[in-house]
Amino acid sequence: MKKSVESKKPLFKIVSLLLPFLFLTLLEVGLRVFNYGGNLDLFISKSGEYSAYETCNPAVARRYFVKEKRLPAPSQDIFLKVKPKNGYRIFVLGGSSAAGYPYGENVMFSRILHRRLTNTFPDKMIEVVNTAMPAINSYAMLDFVDEILDNEPDAILIYGGHNEFYGALGIGSSESLGKSPSIINWILKFQQMKTIRLMRNILNNLFSLFSSEKQIIPNSTLMERMVEEQSIYFQSDIYKAGINQFRTNLADIIQKAKDAKVKILLSELVSNIGHQKPFVSQRGKYNADSTFALAQDFEKEGNFSKAKELFFKAKDYDMLRFRAPEEFNTIIQGLAALNEIPVVPLKQFYSENSRNGITGNNLMLEHLHPNFKGYVLMAEAFIITMRNNNFISSKWPVINKVHKNLKPGITKLDSSLAALKINILKGGWPFKKRSTVNTVLANYKAKNRIDTLAFRVWKESGYTLERGHVDLAIYYSKQNNFEAAFNEYNALTQITPYNSSPYIKAAEMLIKLNRFNEAGIFLKTSLKYENSFYANKWLGQILLGQTKNTEGLKYLQVAYKKNNRDSQLLYNLGGAYYLNKEYALALEKIEELEKISTNFPRLSVLKSRIIELQRK
């Protein structure tokens, strides 16, 4: 008996060792069965008419935010599940500036970039997918990279660094997991296991029970809620930890892209140095306030180079680290040189477009978010750098005047909404004292229809910016203000660039304004997403007017297959065959038209000419 018990001891030990693993396995299976925490993949499938596409997951931020209830979300950019042979796919990484804050998605630099690239390379299917969102930093960007690389990117563009200290998991953030990039990245890597996610949520709940409750100011902004360490001294240990965090994660991102042989493009970081006073100043050698005042004095004296140098230093000495220190730009340049990758010289672009070479309110809305002019300039800087470094092609075609002169996709509605968001931001800390209740929304008074719609977009979850532009377009169209209606539809083409409807609606307004060349651009773009009767019919007609008969005929033939009972189409198709000297086909279409509309204008004249030429 004793021998029997002794012989079973090794078995008991093995079972004892395996029990925790068995428990964790069963727990993981159970959590997956009940879909604990939901799907937090970076990309998810679209449904319905867009089932051939994937899009950014609006819930992906839950990976990084445990305490925060009101989550940021990435753009609604979509891309084809099966990459086309003529496709060129770009992904964008970054924070709120890369996401176009405080504007809608139509003002993201990536959307401006997308339109320019689509017009420059009309024969390519250009896809630009922006994964940026507010309050994330290099931890999230690194965490996204593997999933991006799984989706056949041709290039990755990065504009990020301002959120490094206070963005989710940052060294001074309320959503921190510590100071070690290795440990934090390990947790993120294994967070795809729902057991790890469960443990993190349990620990967070336990900490909240035994820690003093942080007072939440009513109507506080995400910017305010993310800050844990309000004062991070220049060159302090926590400051250096933030520097190391940025360098380590950016180096890993670059290495992953290089290993996958994917082009990567970094950008310098810019902010408001000339008109944004430091938020928090320390005493002594690194006094931000006195340095800023001295910079102002030098600017008044006309010593702009010295003033610029001191403005940068004042920004770096600011202990409330919402603006990236210049050391980040040094890291960007250093890693780029080491890995032989290009850098967008954004500081130079902004400096050259600023008074005295000092970036301020001319391009910035507050401390670091660009205004519309600033975002256009950002897109231009990326485009020029891409062209100079042979992204997409070694030979970039010259964009024609009509494409170049297209109006940007922004209207007064976007500006009103952006102004409201900035006023809310500036109505709270750190622009006001932390104890101050933000009363901007309570005191808001709309001046006109546009302001009323902008307020609805902000306040009502079911009323989107897209809906606001549609309502304005319909309103203007009913007033026969087709120019204003076009502007709203044009903005919609930037908000939902993969939806054919706003392109067609924009073209309709342009046709009413007799601006046929511009209308042709919108119609041709719409055909990339829907092979509609309307676009083919009108594009064919416009091309005939440009004496491009053969090309126009192809579109008219497609339209005819979709609807052979349209009087205007039959007349134009008959005319196209007539111009191509295909008189039998021309007469056939005219006779079809006669059965539908015997009184169609100039029908008898065209028929007589065709019969006469047939006899010859």
Q: Quick check: 341 and 256 in contact, CB under 8 A?
A: no
pLDDT at site 464: 95
- Same-domain pairing of 185 and 56: yes
The predicted model gives 85-113 an average pLDDT of: 96
- Same-domain pairing of 333 and 460: no
The answer to whether residue 32 sits within a structural domain is no
- Same-domain pairing of 174 and 195: yes
Q: Tokens at residue 190, please?
A: 């294994």
Structural domain for 285, as ranges: 281-317
The predicted model gives 329-344 an average pLDDT of: 98
DSSP string, 330-351: HHHHHHHHHHT--EE-HHHHHH
Instruction: State which of 371, 404, 437 marks the end of a domain.
Output: 404
Q: Assign residue 562 the CATH number of its domain.
A: 1.25.40.10
pLDDT, tens digit (0-9, with 9 covering 90-100), for 269-309:
999 999 999 999 998 899 999 999 999 999 999 999 999 99
Instruction: State which of 347, 369, 404 marks the end of a domain.
Output: 404
The answer to whether residue 3 sits within a structural domain is no
* Whether pLDDT at 153 is above 60: yes
Which residue intervals of 340-411 are DSSP H helices? 346-352, 372-388, 401-404
Q: Is 38 left (phi over 0), alpha (psi -120 to 50) or beta?
A: left
- Same-domain pairing of 474 and 331: no
Question: Alpha-carbon distance 188 to 60, whole Å?
Answer: 12
Question: Alpha-carbon distance 11 to 602, whole Å?
Answer: 98
Q: Taking all residues of the chain, what is their mean pLDDT, rounded to a whole number?
A: 90
The two beta strands, 87-94 and 43-45, are unpaired
The answer to whether residue 480 sits within a structural domain is yes
The answer to whether residue 22 sits within a structural domain is no
Of 281, 284, 280, 309, whose CA–CA distance to 297 is shortest?
309
CA distances from 499 to 92, 116, 523, 538, 562 (A): 21, 17, 12, 18, 20
pLDDT, tens digit (0-9, with 9 covering 90-100), for 435-492:
788 899 889 999 999 999 999 999 998 999 999 999 999 999 999 999 999 999 999 9
Total domains in the chain come to 3
pLDDT at site 182: 87
Instruction: State which of 363, 378, 404 marks the end of a domain.
Output: 404
Question: Alpha-carbon distance 510 to 518, whole Å?
Answer: 7
pLDDT at site 229: 76
pLDDT at site 321: 95
Buried b (16+ CB within 10 A) or exposed e, 80-111: beebeeeebbbbbbbbbbbbbbbbbbbbbbbb
- Same-domain pairing of 450 and 583: yes
pLDDT at site 70: 82
Of 187, 192, 138, whose CA–CA distance to 167 is shortest?
138
- Same-domain pairing of 397 and 497: no
The answer to whether residue 579 sits within a structural domain is yes
- Same-domain pairing of 423 and 525: yes
- Same-domain pairing of 249 and 162: yes
> Which residues make beta-bridge pairs with 56?
43
The answer to whether residue 24 sits within a structural domain is no
Sign of the torsion formed by the C-alpha atoms of 109, 111, 116 and 121: positive
pLDDT at site 208: 60
Of 303, 265, 280, whose CA–CA distance to 227 is shortest?
280
Q: Assign residue 110 the CATH number of its domain.
A: 3.40.50.1110
What global pTM score does this model have?
Answer: 0.88
Q: Quick check: 379 and 112 in contact, CB under 8 A?
A: yes
User: Please, which contacts does 84-89 make with residues 24 or more away whose CB atoms are closer than 8 Å?
Assistant: 84/125, 86/123, 86/124, 86/125, 87/124, 87/125, 87/126, 87/127, 88/117, 88/121, 88/124, 88/125, 88/126, 88/127, 88/154, 88/155, 88/392, 89/127, 89/129, 89/151, 89/152, 89/153, 89/154, 89/155
- Same-domain pairing of 390 and 528: no
Which amino acid appears at position 145 of this protein?
V
Question: Alpha-carbon distance 146 to 404, whole Å?
Answer: 36
The answer to whether residue 371 sits within a structural domain is yes
The three-state secondary structure class of 324 is coil
Q: Quick check: 326 and 316 in contact, CB under 8 A?
A: yes
* Whether pLDDT at 361 is above 70: yes
pLDDT at site 51: 92
- Same-domain pairing of 502 and 607: yes
* Whether pLDDT at 218 is above 60: no
The single residue listed with the structure tokens 């610029």 is 308
The answer to whether residue 6 sits within a structural domain is no
Q: Quick check: 139 and 64 in contact, CB under 8 A?
A: yes
Question: Alpha-carbon distance 76 to 596, whole Å?
Answer: 45
Where is average pLDDT lowest: 106-115, 243-252, 579-588? 579-588
Report the run of H or E that residue 156 belongs to, with start and end.
Answer: strand 155-159
- Same-domain pairing of 330 and 303: no
Q: How does residue 515 score in pLDDT terms, banded at 50, 70 and 90? A: very high
- Same-domain pairing of 57 and 129: yes
Which amino acid appears at position 170 of this protein?
G
